[in-house]
Amino acid sequence: MGVIENLLAVIVVLGLLITFHEYGHFWVARRCGVKVLRFSVGFGKPLWSRVDRHGTEFAVAAIPLGGYVKMLDEREGPVAPEEQAQAFNRKSVWARIAIVSAGPIANFLLAFVAYWALFVYGTTTVAPVIGDIAADSPAARGGLQSGQEIVAVEGERTPSWGEVNLKLVAAIGANGELEITTRESETASPERHRVPVSDWLVRQDPPRPLATLGVTPWRPELPAVLGEVLDDGRAQQAGLQSGDRIVSVDGAAVEDWMAFVERVRDNPGKTLALGVERDGERRDVMLTPATREQEDGTAMGYIGVGVQTAEWPERFRREIRYGPLDAVGEAMSKTGEMSLLTIDSIRKMLVGLISPSNLSGPVTIARIAGDSARNGVESFISFLAYLSISLGVLNLLPIPVLDGGHLVYYLIEAVRGRPVPEAVQAFGLRIGVALVGSLMLMALYFDLMRL
């Protein structure tokens, strides 16, 4: 069932992003007087199509990994004399720049609208309150203490753990100190800490900012009660069900969820005798954790379960909500912040600060899309917005075959007064196809390795 949900979620996400991107090209092309021959969501054989009164064919094709807007162009075939004025290649260079840039701009607008809707609707999160500090960690050396709430990183507000992680990831490669601001309570004065770092998060795959910092988030006590039980996992095969309370392992009492997790992780492939409480009755279950190899080569046990959600005290809850006008500024700021983070991440990957194994392809996108959909509307819309920004940024990269590559050619044409020679464009196209193809293969390879 999870695979089907992931597939449906990724079809919805990619369908929306591709449609908005291509509609940006389509809308501006029409207003610049260019005849659009086909508007396709997906590649390959059309599954559905219709033709409007302007002669444009709208199609949904079989392969939902992209789309295109095919415009009338004399470089791609003969054009009737009466239609030559509607050909893309006959338009001014500034009109062509507007048409090409409209796709990525549409993606940024979609992200802005998504964030605006989230800010107006309001989101509830938990305050980033520190639980434990690892001894001799950067956090300990910087003076951070258990019970403090992290209110800012490098001067940027952090109302949630998600924001803390984003700000810490944005500092990848830092050397020297990170400024982390905390407070003891909502009424206490903020306190700035200088946390010493060296080659911060460099080449971590994936980046683990909180663990590297030495901070464990505060969480309410979690009893060893099962929440989600994955299909065909070792837990389900052993007969465990959602709502079961694990009271003992091999005769030793289980104090909380983490104690149970540690017993499972430390015993890959070894049969464990569980004492389980279900509907007030005690029963015994034999469970053998599967084995998963970690990055350091050691084996770890896992059984395919999640913990039952615990209630958070009201003092740890934070509601983020803005009025319609205030949300405009917040949405613009968030869109800009995530765009700059994406650009900076690409730069750091090129210079070797971020491992290329962090590249994600369709498999990872499908998994995250499914997870975000199961986590609720807020999570799904946030993922949609970030993916839309990523698509916009990637399409603006100066690589021939992408929108950014075409923009480079047109900007050169605007400066020198004549087009870039066709032979140069054709050579650049081959390079661009090779680069994009290589990136797609790398992303797919790392996707499969994550499985």
Cα(249)–Cα(427) distance, integer angstroms: 65
Cβ atoms within 10 A of the Cβ of 390, count?
21
Helix axis angle, 377-395 relative to 93-121, nearest 10°?
Answer: 160
Residues 6+ apart with CB under 8 A from 390: 342
**Sign of the torsion angle spanned by Cα atoms 335, 336, 338, 343:** positive
Segment 154-162 long-range contacts (CB within 8 Å, at least 24 positions apart): 154/178, 154/179, 155/179, 155/181, 158/128, 159/125, 159/127, 159/128, 159/318, 159/320, 160/125, 160/126, 160/127, 160/128, 160/318, 160/320, 161/125, 161/126, 161/128, 161/210, 161/217, 162/125
Judge whether 387 and 115 are in contact, CB under 8 Å. no
Judge whether 335 and 112 are in contact, CB under 8 Å. yes
Catalytic residue, from 22, 76, 191, 295: name it: 22
Tell me the chain's radius of gyration from C-alpha atoms. 26
> Which helix (H) or strand (E) covers residue 22, if one does?
helix 2-31
Q: Tokens standing for 377?
A: 């509307």
Where on the phi/psi map is residue 379: left (φ > 0), alpha (ψ -120 to 50), or beta?
alpha
Q: Tokens standing for 383?
A: 């993922």
Cα(73)–Cα(340) distance, integer angstroms: 35
Q: For residue 174, which of 142, 209, 141 has the smallest C-alpha distance?
A: 209
Cβ atoms within 10 A of the Cβ of 186, count?
10
Helix axis angle, 362-374 relative to 2-31, nearest 10°?
Answer: 110
Q: Is 156 an active-site residue?
A: no
Cβ atoms within 10 A of the Cβ of 200, count?
22
C-alpha triplet 210, 211, 214: angle, nearest 5°? 85
Where on the phi/psi map is residue 279: left (φ > 0), alpha (ψ -120 to 50), or beta?
left
Q: Would you name the residues annotated as active-site residues?
A: 22
